């Protein structure tokens, strides 16, 4: 089975689009993590009663973030997709964030995107077009989600699609350097 983390992301800078893989669909309490060795999605945990993922959550393949994992992405969809769904998304922006665990702090940004096939969100092209309450609730979700796991999560800034595309490019380069042994 192919390692999904190595699929090409097909970043299109002009359209600010790329591919993403969903690990945990919107509305789920179960958190799934992709395991590259087995090619399967493993149950990584369960959110507290009353908590659920607010959007489809996954990663951009062929990228590497500072936390050592592919870049995280939250995807607005017309309905929840499924674990392992590969879809093309338009980047809306990024929540630049730091996560602290056991005294170690690392960047753990969350890209924000919309499914390219969406009818409901087809006219949205920038995070600023989302209601402020949506972005605030996403931030609060990750603060609470991490606090329940004994971690701190702090959003440093919310930036637009150009910055999100730049992070995908940087994540690609970071992965290439790691694979080359640098």
Domain boundaries, the chain: 4-179
The list of the chain residues with pLDDT below 50 reads none
Spatial distance between the Cα atoms of 94 and 111, rounded to a whole number of angstroms? 4
What are 41's two structure tokens? 């999605």
In this structure, CATH architecture of domain 4-179: Alpha-Beta Complex (3.90)
pLDDT (0 to 100) of residue 1: 67
Task: Express each pLDDT in 98-125 by its tens digit.
Answer: 999 999 999 999 999 999 999 999 999 9
Sign of CA dihedral 120, 125, 128, 134: positive
Spatial distance between the Cα atoms of 31 and 162, rounded to a whole number of angstroms? 29
């Amino acid at each position: 089975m192919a390692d999904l983390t190595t699929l090409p992301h097909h970043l299109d800078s002009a359209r600010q689009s790329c591919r993403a893989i969903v690990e945990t669909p919107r509305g789920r309490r179960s958190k799934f993590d992709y395991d590259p060795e087995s090619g399967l999605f493993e149950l990584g945990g369960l959110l507290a009663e009353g908590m659920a993922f607010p959007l489809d959550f996954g990663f951009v393949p062929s990228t590497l973030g500072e936390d050592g994992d592919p870049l995280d992405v939250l995807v607005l969809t017309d309905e929840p997709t499924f674990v392992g769904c590969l879809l093309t998304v338009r980047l809306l922006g990024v929540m630049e964030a730091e996560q602290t665990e056991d005294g170690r702090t690392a960047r753990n940004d969350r890209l924000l995107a919309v499914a390219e096939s969406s009818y409901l969100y087809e006219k949205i092209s920038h995070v600023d077009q989302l209601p402020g309450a949506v972005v605030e609730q996403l931030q609060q979700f990750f603060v609470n989600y991490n606090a329940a796991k004994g971690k701190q999560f702090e959003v440093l800034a919310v930036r637009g699609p150009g910055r999100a595309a730049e992070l995908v490019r940087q994540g690609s380069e970071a992965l290439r350097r790691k694979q080359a042994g640098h």
